[in-house]
Amino acid sequence: MTGVRIAGVGLTHFGKHPERTGRDLFAEASEHAFADSDVSHDDIEALYYGNFMGELAEHQGHQGPLMAEAAGVRAPATRYESACASSGVAIRQAVKDVRNGEADAILVGGAERMNNLGTAGTTEALAIAADDLYEVRAGITFPGAYALMARAYFEKYGGSKEDLAHIAVKNHEHALPNEHAQFQKEISVEQALDAPMIAEPLGLFDACPITDGASAAVLVSDEYAEEHGLDAPVSITGTGQGGDRMALQGRKHLARSPAAEEAAEEAYAEAGIDASDVDVAEVHDCFTIAEVLALEALDFYAPGEGIGAARRGETTRDGERPVNLSGGLKAKGHPVGATGTSQLVEMTRILRGDHPNSDAVPDAKTGVAHNAGGTVASATVHVLEVQE
């Protein structure tokens, strides 16, 4: 079974692009990935594309072949949908197919156009990733759902709004030099605590923004990389996926994310590592409490201990294991279908040494990307390693 190399990666700027279409955004991201990879468009044997709300935002389904055309690729193309984990799932399938010899070169990516719907429209569109019968019809939105999870965490383990504020401050600081980030703006703990309340205990700075953007990566087999003399030092050595009950009311745990725990266990086992081997991580911080749940699901901290990590300086760029050096979803932005691949892009650049925050982890060899859907009813984890 062959290994899987990341030959090239590309992103658009994440932010407000209401005048641009999803296909336009993906065309830009994929062209950056091809330019970075030195792989020919003609060598791509498949496109796996993540998108969540295309039918609602652009009245456009059947996006696989549409995005293949936008990327200049003539190959079978499939759209993957798993809410916010859409392109994380697409990456997982691409890794499996390259490993199994189904293809030597696959383009994987995602895009989302959201700002054209406005805040109310986007909130309504995102809500369909929750259980319509038991949650949406009762008025639940994702700020409310994650607020319930935060309150459950505080009741079970302790913690405070100030702990969450430190996460927001950290991720905004990490985004400052990231040219792709939506918010390159520093904030203070006081600003985060004084911000308008969205859903108790989550305030404005505890939530990620509404974002337009696209991401792409070219994945190739070891044999292809060697045959073509590619400079592709980063490999995906482990991949995992987990699931949980859709509605919060059916969950055994509200203060943990078993889907991510399952995904991490599988990915670590495939890569032959454990949590202590991970130097740097990109995690799905759609809300600040989500970063806490991710840190514990990835086994970086025992349940109840992740809440104070940012406040203690352990996950900052100067900490022992920096988390979300890109700025995370909180500050880099969260164009839903593009997020999973964007984490792969950021982690690849961090490990290669050409990310603006690579200097924070100059000796990093192993990174993890954690992507979650909805209230973590679905999750993927990928292990990236620099090949010696």
Boundaries of every domain in the chain? 4-118+209-273+335-354+367-386
CA angle 43, 33, 50 (to 5 degrees): 90
- 234 to each of 80, 124, 341, 367, how far by Cα in Å? 24, 38, 15, 10
Active site residues: 84, 334
Q: How far apart are the first and last CA of the chain?
A: 19
Q: Give me the average pLDDT of each 10-residue run along the chain (388 residues).
A: 94 96 98 97 98 96 97 98 98 98 98 95 93 93 96 97 98 98 97 96 97 98 97 97 95 95 98 98 98 98 98 97 98 98 98 98 98 98 94
pLDDT reported for residue 173: 98
pLDDT reported for residue 277: 98
pLDDT reported for residue 388: 73
4-118+209-273+335-354+367-386: what fold? Answer: Peroxisomal Thiolase; Chain A, domain 1 (3.40.47)
pLDDT reported for residue 2: 85
Nearest to 146 by CA among 172, 163, 127: 127
Upper half-sphere CA count for residue 219 (Cβ side, 13 Å): 31
Considering the entire predicted model, what is its pTM?
0.97
pLDDT reported for residue 1: 72
Cβ burial of 182 (10 Å; 0-12, 13-18, 19+) is: buried
